[in-house]
Chain A
Amino acid sequence: MMAKLHITTSINGDATEFLCEPHDTLLDVLRNDLQMTGTKEGCGSGDCGACSVTVDGRLVCACLVLGVEAEGREIGTIEGVGDNDKLNVIQEKFLEHAALQCGICTPGLVVSTQALLTLNPDPTEAEARYFLAGNLCRCTGYDKIIRAVLDAAATMKGAA
């Protein structure tokens, strides 16, 4: 067995260090080594978006990033969304619109929606649907999710 690598990174603004094997993905590291289980595994192959995180602000699937690649980067996960115990607008709108049933896809969707509204603060319904196409949901049929996203966008624009 190869020696573990020592990685220094920043997660949700907190300086963090961990040890990992070269083959470990960022998802493995977050969930198993750092006990940050908010990021979920649905497929391990980048097809479902349940493990959505940001790396240096860019939306990615953590299952397709190696743990070692976190070195020197800023990682953003669901645990860093909102402000300690206060929900952000996206999270509030998801609850208001009942945009979740089982909730397993919700952390990934919240992170992805945050990325969407950062890049495009006023998306059309079609733009929202295509941007979020990489986040699979099996429970809701997406209707209430899209309504929550568009409402969050409108609210954030109004507050701006």
Chain B
Amino acid sequence: MATLPSTIVEPLLPDTETEVHPDVDLVARTRAGDNSAYEQLVKQYERQIFRTANHITQNREDAEDITQDVFFKAFQKLDQFKGDSKFSTWLVRIAVNESLMRLRKRKTSKTVSMDQDLQTDEGSIPRDFAEWRPNPEQIYSQSELGDILRKTIAGLPPGFRTVFTLRDIENLSTEETAEALKLSVPAVKSRLLRARLQLRERLSRYFRQKNEAPK
């Protein structure tokens, strides 16, 4: 019997705290000229921004450049941050824009369209119904697991990969993801479903309860 949704994946739902976030003070201090406050913000979010850019672009050098550009642009546009979203969400939005621009510059613009459904049925219908081993990630070393996860997500179309990254890895809400990608909420849900199912299908080769070697 499957578990009920409240325990399915914790914490999938966005934080709904209404208290003033400590970042608001760091932003105010930066605006007042305290660069050490901004350095603190960079320290807090550089890993997240690097990860987001790396997931979307699938290129480490691009991710390093984007991380620098995101924090520099955010610093320059700090007066535009109104505090109606989390500072980290604002940074992630800038990172998504920068990452998608990089992808388009690679002359693969057809593959990074965010406003069209991809012409593929892959991921729409599950085909693999094998159960997985109880703790499949423990079968592999950290390095092997990293290779598997990188290879698997790299195989997704960029539009799906980006939605999965924002929703399931960076924990943005469906609405925040839709806003960041200029997509409708139903379009985000549709891409998220297909991204999750495609990843599941591909990971099953490595995690299933069979004595087969990974393909």
A and B: partners? no
Chain A residues near B (Cβ < 8 Å) = none
Where the two chains meet, the residues of B that have a C-beta atom closer than 8 Å to any C-beta of A are none
